[in-house]
Amino acid sequence: MEIFIGDISKPIRTLFISSIGKDANELFEMNKNLEGIVTIDKDFKPQGLITRTQFYQKLGTRYGYDLYMQRPINLLMDEQPLIVDNFKSILEVSNLAMSRKQEKLYDYIIVTRDDIYSGVVSIKDLLLKITEIQVSIARFENPLTGLPGNIVIKEKLTEILKSEEFSVLYFDLDNFKAFNDVYGFKDGDEVIRNTAHLITSAIQKIGNGNAFAGHIGGDDFISILKCHEVDSICMDIIEQFHAIINIFYKEEHLKSGYIISKNRKGTKQKFPLLSLSIAVVTNKSKEFYSVDEIIKEAVTTKEKCKSIIGSCYCIDGIF
């Protein structure tokens, strides 16, 4: 679930732009923990920010007290503070906040709703929330690939049911167990990591920021796109997959096109080299009302893919 900056904003005391320096001084004196004051106009729209540090620095200059105490507060405020909408992503706001000049780095972030002052967020609260988010994400991600696991995958599939267009791509590595048995778990893990990176990079190119990639477990992955045109991405992923996978094989196996390993019954047999099956489920010609319906359709389509020797993709049951 996306977290917005408004979720962690807190209201603080404000002053109308018509106020004078004396009014700001009284607020700071009454609240020793107050690090800033937001100035607003008659429509309650933020006009600037007076920080405690800058306020008392100006008052501490020669004649500063006499100069500013009875004069308008616009002479003491920053007229270009960071102002963001209540529904802006907390991670996006973090990037904006950290991009500010050094002297503004720890200033309050002003939050508005429909351009009206709503509250502020301190850098301390922002960093604490981001740390909390990162810890939460780490709990649900696959430790090998860093991709979201099944809890997040189910949430994303539930969300996608509401979309006008979606494609769910189910990736499965063929003959992975045989590869693991011959080359070992270390190389097997590298194959999994490389495949995860490949899928993530490929879908981001066409995802317009809405693409999602998850690691179901083992050698199974999933991605979700809000579009129906996925032929080119499937072909691109398969092409790149084979370019990457070849570096893991010995020359003799590349020449023969197979490896020898034991099957599940313990009998030695020839296994083709690794390939990639991509089962695609879309709502182009069929409506889905539950996550279970999507999963069932994906599993059925995957079985069709795996009946083909070598890499392939199948969209809504059609090759």
> 142-315: which CATH architecture?
2-Layer Sandwich (3.30)
**pTM for the whole thing?**
0.62
Rounded Cα distance, 50 and 19, in Å? 12
Listed in order, the ranges of the chain carrying CATH 3.30.70.270 are 142-315
Contact indicator for 216, 154 with CB cutoff of 8 Å: no
Listed in order, the ranges of the chain carrying CATH 3.10.580.10 are 5-129
Sorted by sequence, the CB contacts under 8 Å of residue 170 that are 6+ apart come out as 220, 221, 222, 278, 279, 280, 281, 298, 299, 301, 302
Please report, in tens digits, the pLDDT of each residue of the chain (319 residues total).
Answer: 568 999 999 999 999 999 999 999 999 999 999 999 999 999 999 999 999 999 999 988 888 888 899 999 999 999 999 999 999 999 899 999 999 999 999 999 999 999 999 999 999 999 999 998 888 777 788 989 989 999 999 999 999 999 999 999 999 999 999 999 999 999 999 999 999 999 999 998 876 667 999 999 999 999 999 999 999 999 999 999 999 999 999 999 999 999 999 988 889 999 999 999 999 999 999 999 999 999 999 999 999 999 999 999 999 989 8
Cβ-count burial 3-30 (b if 16+ within 10 Å, e if not)? ebbbebbeebebbebebbbeebbebbee
The fold of 5-129 is CBS-domain (3.10.580)
pLDDT at 208: 61
Contact indicator for 319, 189 with CB cutoff of 8 Å: no
Cβ-count burial 259-290 (b if 16+ within 10 Å, e if not)? bebeeeeeeeeebebbbbbbbbbbbeeeebee
Q: Is the Cα torsion angle 223, 226, 228, 231 positive or negative in sign?
A: negative
pLDDT at 210: 76
Nearest CA to 145 out of 192, 185, 212, 77 is that of: 192
